[in-house]
């Protein structure tokens, strides 16, 4: 069953829409655009995106926030039912957000393991068929981040989550996000990728996670956001090199997050990595799981007139097509 879900996720030139922003995050984004972050407006905005006519031409699955999964309706249908009617697989963010690690200002671990088993079983009953858990790693030479202790904690929790999710019938998306914030070089980024991926795949093996029913959600190997944009050829080379070094051939698939990159960077890097992967004989399916890279332009347009559904969907469709084209 879970392998069927993975096959559907990577079918055609489609990817995942990450629409799992917490209420706090989406309220912040709407408020920044002078839109009231009311429950009504949040629902109205998400219904506008999900109701896009050609959405299933480009999107095979959507990661939802729990309130969207549990409460929201579109055209009289609960969101999971509505999405499945469009042949789109509903997914769910299952982690409980970030908490300071060892009283650090720069290091965070992810909450939610204690109640995860019960939550996953409940989300499956509500219609979700895949899940996502995000851990973050901030790079700071000054603060020696990420520390070995944080890497050990976050990768162990990611592996535990993956096992619990699989036992509940959900395909886990493990997301060890290595943040761009800062002025670290691409070499420093790659060094952190090496440490995180080495630990992560050791933990997954120790906990007997089924790699064929597992998806890695990862960032590209890039320099910190305060440095000039990286050359695409360097990004594709460094990223695929990490993949080949650590990711087992039987892995279900890989999806990229945009992680603060511009839409153009997200699409360009994605296409380049796929091109390099094929050239290097790395045959694991690769796609996208973007949030802001797909939503930013649509949200900006919608904020100017929240009743302008049709044109907002046209703006959204253009960026969906660009992401889909990048897979070809």
3-state DSSP of 229-284: CCCHHHHHHHHHHHHHHHCCCCCCEEEECCCCCCHHHHHHHHHHHHHHHHHCCCCC
Which CATH number goes with the domain that contains 40?
A: 3.20.20.70
Q: Which of 175, 203, 238, 276 is catalytic?
A: 175
Report, as ranges of residue numbers, the positions in the chain whose pLDDT lies below 50. none
Say if 113 falls within a structural domain: yes
Residue 104 is predicted with a pLDDT of 87
Q: Which of 21, 217, 238, 322 is catalytic?
A: 217
Residue 142 is predicted with a pLDDT of 79
The domain in which residue 25 lies consists of 2-323
Number of domains in the chain: 1
Say if 328 falls within a structural domain: no
Say if 16 falls within a structural domain: yes
Cβ neighbours of residue 238 under 8 Å, at least 6 residues apart? 186, 190, 221
Say if 196 falls within a structural domain: yes
Say if 279 falls within a structural domain: yes
Residue 274 is predicted with a pLDDT of 97
Asked if 175 is an active-site residue, the reply is yes
Asked if 217 is an active-site residue, the reply is yes
Say if 193 falls within a structural domain: yes
Q: What does pTM read for this prediction?
A: 0.96
């Amino acid at each position: 069953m879970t392998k069927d879900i993975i096959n559907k996720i990577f079918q055609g030139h489609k990817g995942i829409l990450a629409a799992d922003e917490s209420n706090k995050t989406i309220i912040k984004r709407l408020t920044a655009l002078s839109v009231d972050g009311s429950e009504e407006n949040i629902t109205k905005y998400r219904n506008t995106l999900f109701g896009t006519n050609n959405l299933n031409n480009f999107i095979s699955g959507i990661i939802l926030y729990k309130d969207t999964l549990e409460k929201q309706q579109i055209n009289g249908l609960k969101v999971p039912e509505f999405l499945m009617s469009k042949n789109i697989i509903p997914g769910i963010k299952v982690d409980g957000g970030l908490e300071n690690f060892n009283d650090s200002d720069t290091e965070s671990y992810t909450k939610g393991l204690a109640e995860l088993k019960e939550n996953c079983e409940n989300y499956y009953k509500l219609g979700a068929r895949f899940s996502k858990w995000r851990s973050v790693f901030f790079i700071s030479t000054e603060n020696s981040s990420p520390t070995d202790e944080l890497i050990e904690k976050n990768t162990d929790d990611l592996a535990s989550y993956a096992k619990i999710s699989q036992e509940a019938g959900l395909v886990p998306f493990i997301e060890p996000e290595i943040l761009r914030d800062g002025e670290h070089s691409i070499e420093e980024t790659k060094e952190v990728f090496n440490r995180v991926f080495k630990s992560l795949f050791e933990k997954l093996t120790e906990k007997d996670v089924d790699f064929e029913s597992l998806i890695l959600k990862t960032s590209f190997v890039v320099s910190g956001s305060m440095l000039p944009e990286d050359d695409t050829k360097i990004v594709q080379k460094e990223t695929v090199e990490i993949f080949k070094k650590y990711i087992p051939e039987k892995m279900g698939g890989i999806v990229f997050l945009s992680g603060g990159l511009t839409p153009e960077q997200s699409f360009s890097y994605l296409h380049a990595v796929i091109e390099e992967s094929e050239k290097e004989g790395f045959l694991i399916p690769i796609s996208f799981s973007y949030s802001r890279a797909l939503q930013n332009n649509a949200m900006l347009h919608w904020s100017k007139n929240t009743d302008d559904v049709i044109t907002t969907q046209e703006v959204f469709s253009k960026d969906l097509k660009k992401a889909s084209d990048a897979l070809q």
